[in-house]
Structures are given as C-alpha cells and as structure tokens.
C-alpha cells in the first residue's frame, strides 16, 4: 500500500512570505478612504518617478522598422521556399505529395502528371498562406528538402486570393544562377564536408 500523506502537504517550503490582504470595501465611504490612503502613500508618485527616470536616460531601444530589422533565428518558420537542384536548376520537388498529406491545415495542393519519359512531373504547386499556420511539418517530411521555410516574414495583403502563391515560392532563376540560393540549415540538410564524404557509385553491382 502506497502512502500518499507526504503529497497532501502543499507547503513545500518554509520560506513563504505572506501578504496582508485588506478586506474589499463595501460602502462608498470605505472606497473613498482606500483611494485617499493609496494616493497619500506615494505609490502613484513612485511609479511616475520611475517612468521619468527612464525617460531622462535617452537610451532608446526602438527599432526604426522597416529601415532597421532585428536578426531572425535560422530556425524561424517564415514564408515557404521551393529549392532548385544544384546540378540542373530544376525544381527539387519530386511530387511525392507527403507535404500535402501531412498538412494539418489543408493548405497545400499539388498537381502532378507523367512526363514524356514516364516520370512524375510537378505541374502545379500552391500553398494557401492565408490558412497556413507555419507548423513546419511540410519541411520536415520532405525527403528531398525541396520545400523549406525562409526568412521573409513580410507578407500582407488586402485580398485573400493573394495568399495563394505558386511560382513565387520557387527560387528565381537569376538568383539561382548567381549562386545566392541559401542551403537549408535544418534537420536533414547537407553537412559542410558532405562533398568529401561522397563515395563514387560503382558501375556494376
């Protein structure tokens, strides 16, 4: 039989400091007395002095947005990006549909077809950013690291239709050719010395 007596005592420490709680005034006379007491005790002037003291320091911490922006964590989940293959420049998405199936807000739609060589080709890819909750499941489940989260969090519009993007997610070709496509630093990405660890595939098995 287990003894739970020791768990019934909620006072786990003897260093409690008990506050003196005043009774709530019921009549208007008692309420008026409480207002006068709090005013003359100097609590209001103490708060005003603290604010005035901070104003005199002139140590302004305001960020002049959008001219100034705070640094964002590399793991911040902002707008999605679809990466391109380094070798060919084609979209890295293979159309497996895992991101569409795991999306809990049902905002991803993929339209695929079979190409001339019998391989699946992604014909359309859209994310309704108005419904997306930016959970990051689509980026975690992607086997090719094709869809990732970028650092662009400035996405506002007055029309709901503007939140469904297609071609805007893919890395622009001019940025890709300039070598400015940043690799994904998250889980499953390539290590810095990945090229040295690659072994040549044998021609015969």
Q: Determine, yes or no, domain membership for 110.
A: yes
* 31, β-bridge pairs: none
Rounded to two decimals, what is the model's pTM? 0.56
Q: Determine, yes or no, domain membership for 2.
A: no
Q: Determine, yes or no, domain membership for 9.
A: no
Helix (H, G, I), strand (E, B) or coil at 31: helix
Q: Which residues of the chain have pLDDT under 70?
A: 1-14, 162, 164-168, 171-177, 180, 182-192, 194-195, 198-205
Q: Are residues 116 and 159 in the same domain?
A: yes
Number of domains into which the chain is organized: 2
Q: List pLDDT tens digits, range 17-33.
A: 777 888 889 999 999 98
* 182-203 residues labelled b (16+ CB within 10 A) or e (exposed): eebeeeeeeeeeeeeeeeeeee
Q: Determine, yes or no, domain membership for 97.
A: yes
Q: Are residues 107 and 39 in the same domain?
A: no
Any residues with CB less than 8 A from the CB of 181 and at least 6 apart, and which?
A: 83, 84, 171, 175
Confidence at residue 98, expressed as pLDDT on a 0 to 100 scale: 92
Q: List pLDDT tens digits, range 39-59.
A: 777 777 888 888 888 888 877
Q: Are residues 165 and 119 in the same domain?
A: yes
Q: Are residues 34 and 121 in the same domain?
A: no
Q: Determine, yes or no, domain membership for 103.
A: yes
Tell me which residue range forms the domain holding 48: 24-60
Q: Are residues 126 and 51 in the same domain?
A: no
């Amino acid at each position: 039989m287990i003894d739970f007596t020791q768990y019934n005592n909620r006072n786990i420490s003897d260093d409690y400091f008990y506050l003196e709680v005043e009774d709530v005034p019921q009549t208007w006379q008692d309420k008026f007395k409480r207002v006068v007491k709090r005013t003359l005790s100097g609590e209001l002037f103490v708060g005003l002095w603290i604010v005035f003291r901070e104003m005199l320091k002139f140590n302004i911490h305001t960020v002049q947005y959008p001219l100034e922006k705070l640094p964002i964590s590399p793991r911040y989940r902002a707008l999605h990006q679809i990466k391109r293959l380094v070798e060919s420049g084609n979209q890295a998405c293979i159309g497996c549909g895992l991101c569409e199936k795991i999306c809990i807000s049902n905002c991803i739609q993929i339209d695929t077809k079979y190409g001339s060589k019998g391989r699946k080709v992604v014909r359309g890819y859209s994310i309704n950013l108005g419904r997306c909750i930016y959970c990051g499941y689509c980026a975690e489940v992607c086997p090719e690291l094709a869809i990732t989260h970028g650092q662009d969090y400035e996405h506002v519009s007055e029309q709901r239709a503007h939140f469904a993007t297609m071609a805007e997610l893919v890395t622009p070709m001019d940025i890709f050719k300039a070598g400015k496509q940043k690799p994904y630093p998250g889980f499953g990405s390539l290590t810095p010395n990945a090229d040295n660890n690659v072994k040549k595939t044998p021609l015969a098995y």
